[in-house]
Amino acid sequence: MAHGLDRESKDLDRDTMERAYARWAPIYDAVCGPLFEKGRRAATAAAKQAGSRILEVGVGTGLSFQDYGPGFEIYGIDLSEPMISKARERIATGAFPHVKEVSVMDAHDLAYPDNMFDCVVAQFVITLVERPERVLDECARVIRPGGEIILVNHLYSEKGLAAAVERWFSKHAHTFGLRPEFPFQRLKDWADKNGGAKVVDRSFVGPLGVYSLVRFRKLGADVAQAPPLAAVG
């Protein structure tokens, strides 16, 4: 089987994602906030270790704003206008002065200059975009040498009963803006072929280690010294 072609054929298109997240926006905090909390906190903790100027790709309603504080500069983008509207309501409370701006923006074409950020963090995003490798290219472009891309996601189990369940579920999941069959190998292949970034850690995040936290380091600094993160229970 041509695995690369098979994976590409399942990529989600932009219209599907915009429709799905317009539906999710009113209930996202109540439904997805608790479900994704441990993964979110693991991602933001890793991002804070990477530096102070951070871009959140797929910032959604801004749930992660509370995980940062003074000393950080947070920028957020999302494809969904309803999600960004919710994030702007959060900013308007005055509780998050460290959030410098949020914008409706396509992660495939980031409107930021090269080397602007210390870190790009994407929570539960990379498996959902139309062209994941293109998004990773853009994330790598806008971080400085030695900066990090931090991803947290459920990644495809690839074998066993869990893989069989995910293959079945994937037939119905795309309508809801989900893609459960995305493998870690695809991320590693991007880094191996990209030449400008390297996977420096993959750890598992609770509950039950269902989420993977993946760190890439942009080459130009000593990648070998990047410390691994302990799994978060």
**pLDDT value of residue 35:** 58
User: How far is it, in rounded angstroms, from Cα 98 to Cα 66?
Assistant: 10
**pLDDT value of residue 183:** 85
**pLDDT value of residue 57:** 97
**pLDDT value of residue 5:** 32
**pLDDT value of residue 102:** 98
Q: Which of 63, 116, 111, 119 is nearest to 91 (CA)?
A: 63
Give me the half-sphere count of Cα atoms (radius 13 Å) on the Cβ side of residue 163. Answer: 6
Q: pLDDT 10s digit of each residue in the chain, 233 long?
A: 333 333 443 555 556 555 555 554 555 554 554 557 888 999 999 999 999 999 999 999 999 999 999 999 999 999 989 889 999 999 999 999 999 999 999 999 999 999 999 999 999 889 888 899 999 999 999 999 999 999 998 776 555 444 444 444 344 434 434 445 578 899 999 999 988 999 999 998 876 677 889 999 999 855 444 444 444 33
**pLDDT value of residue 21:** 54
User: How far is it, in rounded angstroms, from Cα 225 to Cα 79?
Assistant: 35
Q: Taking a C-beta distance cutoff of 8 angstroms, is the pair 144, 114 a contact?
A: no
